[in-house]
A and B are shown apart, each in its own frame.
Chain A
Amino acid sequence: MSKREVYVIGYGITKFGEHYELNPSSSASQALSKAIQDAKISKDLIQSLYFGSLVSNRNGQSYIGAEVSRECNLNIPITKIDVGNASGAGAFHQAFIAIKSGLLDCIAILGTEKLSDFVNSSTLEKILGGTIDYQWEFEQGATLTSLYAWMTQAHMKEFNTTMEQLASVPVKNHKNGVNNPIAQFRREISLKRFLDAKRISDPIGRFDPATHCDGSAAVVIASKEFVESHTEIERKVKVVGSAQSSDKIALHHRETLSSLLATQVTSKKAYEMAQISSKDISIAEVHDSYPIGEILAIEDLGFFQKGDGGSATIEGKTQINSDISVNTSGGLKARGDPFGATGIAQIIEIVQQMRREADQRQVDDIKYGLTQNVMGTGASVLVNIFSNLEEDK
């Protein structure tokens, strides 16, 4: 494998939430401009833009890249990468490969989504239907939420995971989100509130899913050679692993519902690339679109034994500055989930933590940080690993 080193040299992110006044390309342009500014380099040095979005093409404009390039005055290749609602991390992975290949030296990656434009929730359900087996799950009546309900049931049945353990995931993430200025929800929610809520797809309750919102996030990545030859770059975070793998899209084709095989395979590949093990990870941003998502993630990524995710969470082992700090940003749950932007937002949280810009949610003594972005119910999973060891402060 190529020994070329890759760094994140800048980031930009909008506030996540409902931004009815912004059109999709303006939101995207905001994040991109901020990222370029943050990198301290001239925008003309960026050689290519990769962007990830699940639905940016559903509101008329089929290629918002063109609008973004005009708004940011960039005349560079712009390519949309499609990994469903994990397109943000998908775009990052492809950009990482492009730098590793030696062909490019500096790439901007943009994740964007404008979900408040879809005021009818049936429309969004149908869009999410595209992230599961559309013909044999969605058209048969299943929705993303109902499939996560089965996964939750499977975990509860096999490992005696309790409703309290499940609810302790969003309780923790909302607590973390209070201190994240870009989070959609900056307030704590009690365990009781989660437990008492009406069940929308048993055992999933009304407040359990992450909300679908607007947001854009961008990072600029560059090769070591590029960083060394541009002294204006002040801060950099090293990318030491980036991997993606797939699983059967339909739950009815999988061996188990209580693990995400794609998370296990992808993280193994990423750990090998980084030459570390799960024990070396200090902070992780994982896909908690439903409470079970985080429990599956912290088990399948190897942080805890299979089946122990629920008890580890309720015992506080995933809080900030505990065994492993999981979703210090508030996760998808408190930050909000603008699909394509989420994968990049996760990376930005790790970068902010490593640059010690996370204020009240700052984790101490970070060695390695990891992001995990899930497409649908795990048909595709992306894992990125970042190192804090040789950061020049």
Chain B
Amino acid sequence: MEPPKIWRERREKYLALGVLCHDCKKKNFPITQRCPDCTSGNIEEVKLAQTGKILYFTRVSQTAKEMMFYAPYIVALIELDDRIRVTGQITDTKFEDLTEGMKVRMVFRTLSKNGEEGLIGYGFKFVHI
């Protein structure tokens, strides 16, 4: 990944941020300039819930070069406790041990490595509780 992209996205990737609309009161992910529900610009950045549950999960064995070091890994559709849904990896867990509905907690991990010399991409993943 190029430096400007890593820099620009660091807060949302590191902190898992969304937006809360002061007009329609809805919370959305990811960060947008306007509320995706009512298009109001009267919004603020908020942190997403740090725990949630697994809705769907599967394994990934073939992926971009920058992520192949981690493959095969598990990717899941997570519903956080604030009802926001996100896509993220389940780490430190064996595929056989996972079940739908399992509770998970957000952790900070590396997501990609651009070779031996390039930048490291950090972001959130999940571990089961």
Residue ranges of A at the interface with B (Cβ–Cβ < 8 Å): 120-123, 125-126, 129, 133, 135-143, 145-146, 149-150, 153-154, 199-202, 204, 250-253, 257
Contact = CB atoms under 8 A, between A and B. Distances in A.
A287 B45 CA distance: 39
Nearest to B30: A136
Given A140-B123, A202-B58, A252-B87, A125 B63 contact: yes
Contacts of A199: 59
Given A125-B64, A143-B63, A136 B58 contact: no
A113 to B, nearest CB: 19
Given A202-B58, A202-B59, A141 B89 contact: yes
A135 B87 contact: no
29 contacts: A122-B62, A122-B64, A126-B64, A139-B111, A139-B112, A139-B121, A140-B75, A140-B111, A141-B70, A141-B88, A141-B89, A141-B111, A141-B125, A142-B60, A143-B62, A143-B75, A146-B59, A150-B77, A153-B56, A153-B58, A154-B56, A200-B62, A201-B58, A201-B61, A250-B87, A252-B85, A252-B87, A253-B85, A257-B56
B62 A141 contact: no
Interface string B28-65: 00100000000000000000000000001011111111
B65 A146 contact: no
Interface range on chain B: under 10, 10 to 19, 20 to 34, or 35 or more? 20 to 34
A252 B86 contact: yes
Contacts of A122: 62-65, 68
B9 to A, nearest CB: 7
B62 to A, nearest CB: 6
Contacts of A125: 62-64
Given A142-B60, A143-B62, A251 B87 contact: yes
Given A122-B68, A150-B77, A252-B77, A136 B62 contact: no
A253 B85 CA distance: 7
A146 B62 CA distance: 10
B67 interface: yes
A272 B56 CA distance: 36
Of listed B9, B56, B123, residue having the most chain A CB within 10 A: B56
Contacts of B60: 141-143, 145-146, 201
Contacts, number: 86
B63 A120 contact: no
Nearest to B71: A141
Contacts of B70: 141
A141 B77 contact: no
Given A150-B77, A251-B87, A252-B77, A138 B58 contact: no
B87 A142 contact: yes
B33 to A, nearest CB: 15
Contacts of A149: 56, 58
Given A149-B58, A150-B58, A142 B75 contact: yes
Given A143-B75, A201-B59, A252-B87, 16 more contacts: A122-B64, A125-B62, A125-B64, A133-B87, A140-B89, A141-B87, A142-B60, A142-B87, A143-B60, A146-B59, A146-B75, A153-B56, A201-B60, A204-B58, A251-B77, A257-B77
Interface string B75-95: 101000000011111000000
Nearest to B86: A252
A120 B64 CA distance: 10
Interface string B2-31: 000000010000000000000000000010
A286 B85 CA distance: 29
Nearest to A148: B58
